[in-house]
A = this chain, B = another copy of it.
Amino acid sequence: MSELSHLDAAGRVHMVDVSDKPDTARIASARGRLACAPATLEIVREGRAPKGAVIATAELAGIMAAKQTANLIPLCHPLPLSRVSVRIAMTDLGFDIVGEVKTTGKTGVEMEALTAVSVAALTLYDMLKAVDKAMRIEAIEVVAKSGGKSDWPTAE
């Protein structure tokens, strides 16, 4: 086995065998942000583009995308998600996105949380691109994961 679990001893990809792992309750959260121009935020803040319509659409897209993770990421195991939440908040610089996913399964759900955040960010971008062509998706990362052998960040 390679150091990378998705590669076998010969360095070829496979969907790694998790059948001997126990089903445990697992949680992962991820975050990211969409940076945009102040004028773009103003449009949403002033309700010229209803905040609900923009943000609720992106949150829903993120939730639905979490369920597509194993179809998008080639070596991800399909998992029966038991909770998905995506929350978007406006800041002075753009939109902060937090995604949280739970499962009871044999592998962690950080890819599902990251996918939810990524697609929510893409959807915000799509909703706002008519008025701002210089937006940027930034800093998508795992905040925490627990329930497996490699919880993170490590408790001390």
Beta-carbon contact of B75 and A63 below 8 Å: yes
Q: A78-B67, A110-B129 are in contact. Are A56 and B12 (CB under 8 A)?
A: yes
Q: A11-B50, A85-B15, A139-B138 are in contact. Are A73 and B115 (CB under 8 A)?
A: no
Q: A11-B49, A74-B64 are in contact. Are A6 and B83 (CB under 8 A)?
A: no
Copies of this chain, how many?
6
Partner of A14, one of B64, B84, B115, B150: B84
Q: A49-B4, A68-B72, A122-B118 are in contact. Are A63 and B13 (CB under 8 A)?
A: yes
Total interface residues on A, CB under 8 Å, equals 89
**Chain B residues positioned under 8 Å from A70 (CB to CB):** 67
Residue interface bits A17-60, CB-to-B below 8 A is 1, else 0: 11100000100000010000000000100011110111011011
Main SS of the interface on chain A?
A: mixed
Q: Which B residue's beta carbon lies closest to that of A117?
A: B137
**Chain B residues positioned under 8 Å from A131 (CB to CB):** 3-4
Residues in chain A within 8 A of chain B (CB atoms) = 2-8, 11-19, 25, 32, 43, 47-50, 52-54, 56-57, 59-61, 63-68, 70-87, 102-106, 110-111, 114-115, 118-119, 121-123, 125-131, 133-142, 150, 152-153
